[in-house]
Structure 1
């Protein structure tokens, strides 16, 4: 009899960015890519269009986390916003963990830089955690 394998839950993950490791992210997304379709008609072949693969495009990775005293991701964004020559692109990973905290899947992204930072929204009538967000533009993502 086959052993039942339950799917992994999406709330147990961590993010690594060149040495910055955080397990306290609220949300991580944007793990997708698409390939442009180039339609091409060949001479003498008037019935159908040929479809060829074009450029690969990657969506920005979006990260959201509860605001704290930790300013490392914000400082990285400020370096880029201020044109600091020391600002560096970074590689990173989004790691899916099982219920026991063991790594089950990993998506590695390359040459990322912070394209957008969003600060928290405030509401005196709410009872929510203050959330910061960062969008990372990158050049490639690979499931390892």
Structure 2
């Protein structure tokens, strides 16, 4: 008898990455791609002058968070990203909490990444080519001060 998969564990299959949602201040925005969810801890190296060991001690230092890049198709009359970007005035932009949810096969939230104090740092308009057969895509880069994972 063929195995139809109904008796398999729910944890046996990894999540797919093509089903996700992005919420910016409780408003859901639709994106084609989200990249750059990363955190890095800088390494501090120290060696005391009287150390008998000829190497340094390594300690964890300050955390750094990479910018998150959001990509979406360009639609006639859709100015959501430009409106957010144009709100920036010399250090007076309202910083936002942005959540990125990875969804499971039933569209329920499986994992959530939260960006703290996020704001638009860069916006890029689509490139235009007369011989291309592609969708127009605009890109926004977000700077933020923290990345938290919850499930």
**What TM-score comes out, normalization by structure 1 length?**
0.89
Superposed CA RMSD in Å reads 1.9
Secondary structure of 2:86's aligned partner: helix
- Where has structure 1 moved over 3 Å in runs of 4 or more? 82-85
- When structure 1 is superposed on structure 2, of 47-56 and 60-69 the one drifting more is 47-56
Aligned to 2:14: 7
Q: What is the aligned residue count?
A: 141
Alpha-carbon distance in 2 for matches of 1:84, 1:111: 12
Residue 21 of structure 1: CA displacement?
Answer: 0.3
Aligned to 1:25: 31
**What TM-score comes out, normalization by structure 2 length?**
0.85
- When structure 1 is superposed on structure 2, of 129-138 and 41-50 the one drifting more is 41-50
- Tell me which of 57, 67, 77 is aligned to 2:64: 57
Alpha-carbon distance in 1 for matches of 2:85, 2:136: 19
Alpha-carbon distance in 2 for matches of 1:49, 1:83: 42
What does residue range 1-144 of structure 1 map to in structure 2 within 5 Å?
3=9, 5-22=12-29, 24-47=30-53, 48-68=55-75, 69-80=77-88, 82-83=89-90, 85=92, 87-144=93-150
Residue 83 of structure 1: CA displacement?
Answer: 3.9
Alpha-carbon distance in 2 for matches of 1:138, 1:59: 8
Residue 2 of structure 1: CA displacement?
Answer: 6.8
Larger Rg: 2
- When structure 1 is superposed on structure 2, of 42-51 and 5-14 the one drifting more is 42-51
